[in-house]
Amino acid sequence: MTNFNLQCICTGVVLLLLSFNTALAADPTDLRQQVESCQEIRDPEQRLACFDRLLETPETPVETRPGPREVNRMNLFWELDDQTHSGRGRIRTYKPLLASPARWSNNPNEQPASPSGEATSPFPLDPVESSIRLSLRTKLWDNPIGDNGDIWFAYTQTAYWQSYNSSNSSPFRETNYMPEIFSVWRVGVPLGERWRWEMVSLGLKHQSNGRGSVLGISRSWNYLYANVGLMGQDTEVYLRPRVRVLREDPDDNADIEDYFGYGDLHIIRHLNASRLELNARLNPSTRKGMAELAYHFPLLGDMHGYFSIFSGYGESLIDYNHKQTTVTAGVSLFQF
């Protein structure tokens, strides 16, 4: 067989094999030029080595992508990224739902008062009553800027029921209504080895007790707030400064900030399936505030047993300027 025929056969074989090896060259002209350059090599061993190099498939570089963020409880609750997003229009729990058959107070507020006036007469209260809290939220807008941010609406209602005060018709003593709208934004900034600044929230909240302008017992206010969420190992810390806005005239509770201050602190410590919560606020200038310690322990599914101790001002709006210590026991329902 002539050298010319051998080269033609080699060239044909190489082109056939290269047709199955598309990773070598996207441009057919470049491929033919490489084959022809191999053909021009006179030494048989070097020419064969040249064809071998053409037939080698180069390693495709693997695109390096950042791995998924660690899903912790704060990520999961606030749905901070694509791993935890669950869409708009779904109803989720917000604050734990509470049902308590027994709430005891050492100092029931039988004649509420405020700078706008005082209840016309004392109302005899039983120191033991029931309470219930409903708190739900839903997402209105998912990722308003790029792949970050959510807009939420939440509604919380808490009722205090004099269920054992049958001599006075067992009335509902107080009901508080708290609608709010807020945005939540992912931050994800490490703070040392053990903590991360996970999220920040901005919102507007209204709180009232639905008493209209009833002298001495009507309560209502609005405020803007921020919520800074820090996550440690099994610990969530929320710092929530606020500023009062949209004051009403007349103002039913002009001095409410003397007792509620200008922000609060919320700490959640997760203990396996249980959790311990601390809520606290203080106005440094008046030295008035409150502290509440609550413990949730598992019963069945999302249902937990619940026990709390509160001391200070403002457990409810009617009591914003009334100091008392309360102990509450019941059940709670929430999703981690």
Contact indicator for 333, 175 with CB cutoff of 8 Å: no
Per annotation, catalytic residue among 85, 206, 266, 270: 206
Q: In 3-state terms, what secondary structure has residue 35? A: helix
What does the DSSP 8-state code read for residue 188? E
**Distance, CA of 82 to CA of 263 (rounded, Å):** 31
Cα 147 to its chain centre, rounded Å, is 16
Active site residue 114: no
Helix or strand (DSSP H, E) at 47 = helix 44-55
Per annotation, catalytic residue among 114, 135, 201, 208: 208
For residue 208, give Cα distances in angstroms to 156, 221, 262: 11, 7, 18
Write out the two tokens for 91.
Answer: 């109803």
**Distance, CA of 147 to CA of 142 (rounded, Å):** 8
**CA triple 257-259-260, angle to 5 deg:** 60
**Distance, CA of 69 to CA of 73 (rounded, Å):** 12
Active site residue 206: yes
Residue 214 identity (one-letter amino acid): V
Contact indicator for 188, 69 with CB cutoff of 8 Å: yes
Active site residues: 206, 208
